[in-house]
Structure 1
Amino acid sequence: MNDPLIIAIDGPSGTGKSSVSKTVATRLGISYLDTGAMYRALAWSCVASAIDLDDSAAVSAHAQTFDLRMGMDPAAPSVGVGDRRIDREIREDAVTSVVSRVATNLDVRANMKQRQRDLIAEGCAATGGCVAEGRDITTVVAPDAAVRILMTASEDARMQRRSRQLRVATEATRSQIVDRDRTDSTVSQFTTAADGVVTIDTSDIDFAQSVDAVLHVVKEATDDLSTTAG
């Protein structure tokens, strides 16, 4: 029996990692996990429960118990808390503007790390593999993944992509990208590839080329594993 294929993809906002990860998972017929959505879901749940985001102990306690449900079909990924789907709500400014206050809580990160590992295992059991994307997947959550990739892009390219996605002026996206990256980088390293992590710069390549670049890395890694096993 082959080992499950775990593909860990990290990178800052605007590099295309979410869209690329979903497409790669679809092409390979395996599960997909958006770990950033998990932090967004917690931020939404804290706000909905009137928990003070500056009360780190209260946020951490809530993280231990809130009923997070992640749908891992790359063609239709979903996020819910309890029976409520919150896919749209977690992308709204009310969550985007506060998610870093949750994501930089070290106790929260420890809890999420275990949840993410459990979900990756569930995805692998269901489909034989999982593409997990976020900010510390290659280094903390799944450092032993068969494929580890850091997706990067220039600041200008990232802001232009995000502005097109949100249909707002490029400059209006600066705080969402630059400021959040600066805050999140205090607890995770997602701007420089760790040892053994392959860097893919998407600044000057389009979406299809980005997908092909990831699939090329996957093929090389799996070919190497097959050769080693043989």
Structure 2
Amino acid sequence: MTEPLTIAIDGPSGSGKSSVARAVAQRLGVGYLDTGAMYRAVTWWCLERGVDLADTAAVAEAARSLPLEQSTDPSSPAVSVGGTDVTEAIRTSEVSTAVSAVATNREVRPVLQALQRDLMARISDATGGVVAEGRDITTVVAPDARVRILLTASEEARLRRRSTELHGSADAAAVEATRDQVLRRDRQDSTVSQFEDAAEGVVLVDTSDLTLEGSIEAVLDVVAGATGSDES
């Protein structure tokens, strides 16, 4: 292939998009971009600086001035803000609970989307391709990506996965503790981005009954079909 391999993956919480996207990027030897981490980084930055998340203009200004550094190596994803490593901090419950206020800010989204397009181009130039994952990559950020995939899964499967990730268990109590965070985030974010139904030209991959490895192979099969080569 002479042109960069650009792969856009969207999906709701717990669909497996982050784990799958990282693994696919590693298998293909290309760069990786977690766009959701950007919204989380803005959220963390605002909380640290005492910016009112309801003040849309102030949050948008914070997004424009965010001193963000983000690793594009799928084997070691890391995020820093102003020289501070926030890789773990942006995954805390405090940030997870607040991030929708930033992700649904219609002044913030164009700022980060422009940054995402720029980063995708730079990553592709540097590594020969990029796997970018988020919620509106296939439809807004990179609608011309060579491969566009919507990962989905049943509500039960998504809650089970996220519960295991956050609480180390998928028992009834852990799932219930996770339910509001996952479903409320998807409900709120769906007001500004389309990630529940595949748009025209976007391939739907249902991971409900697939293992992580099965999900990775399913995505690699889509890539192989789109590129006419055996990517796996």
Match of 1:78 in 2: 78
Amino acid at match of 1:101: A
Match of 1:190 in 2: 195
Match of 2:39 in 1: 39
* Structure 1 position 209, deviation (Å): 0.6
| Two-structure CA RMSD over aligned residues (Å) | 1.0
Amino acid at match of 1:145: A
Note if 1:208 corresponds to 2:213: yes
Match of 2:185 in 1: 180
Match of 2:116 in 1: 116
* Structure 1 position 109, deviation (Å): 0.1
* Structure 1 position 166, deviation (Å): 1.1
Match of 2:25 in 1: 25
User: Within 1, Cα distance between the matches of 2:224 and 2:130?
Assistant: 15
* Structure 1 position 62, deviation (Å): 1.0
The TM-score with structure 1 as length reference comes to 0.96
Instruction: Report Cα offsets for 1:108-161 as digits up to 9, x if no partner.
Output: 000000000011011101100000000000000000000000000000000001
Question: After TM superposition, what 4+ stretches of structure 1 lie above 2 angstroms from structure 2?
Answer: none
The TM-score with structure 2 as length reference comes to 0.95
Structure 1 residue ranges without an equivalent (≥5): 225-230
Match of 1:88 in 2: 88
Q: Pairwise mapping of residues 8-19 of structure 1 onto structure 2 (< 5 A)?
A: 8-19=8-19
2:228 is paired with a residue whose SS is helix
Structure 2 residue ranges without an equivalent (≥5): none
User: Within 2, Cα distance between the matches of 1:166 and 1:57?
Assistant: 32
User: Within 2, Cα distance between the matches of 1:177 and 1:158?
Assistant: 8
Amino acid at match of 2:187: R
User: Within 2, Cα distance between the matches of 1:123 and 1:17?
Assistant: 19
Match of 2:54 in 1: 54
Instruction: Report Cα offsets for 1:76-96 as digits up to 9, x if no partner.
Output: 011111211100000001100
Q: Percent identity among equivalent residues?
A: 58
Amino acid at match of 2:210: I
* Structure 1 position 56, deviation (Å): 0.6
2:192 is paired with a residue whose SS is coil
User: Within 1, Cα distance between the matches of 2:188 and 2:45?
Assistant: 21
1:23 is paired with a residue whose SS is helix
2:12 is paired with a residue whose SS is coil
Match of 1:228 in 2: none
User: Within 2, Cα distance between the matches of 1:164 and 1:64?
Assistant: 35
1:6 is paired with a residue whose SS is strand
Report how many residues are paired.
224
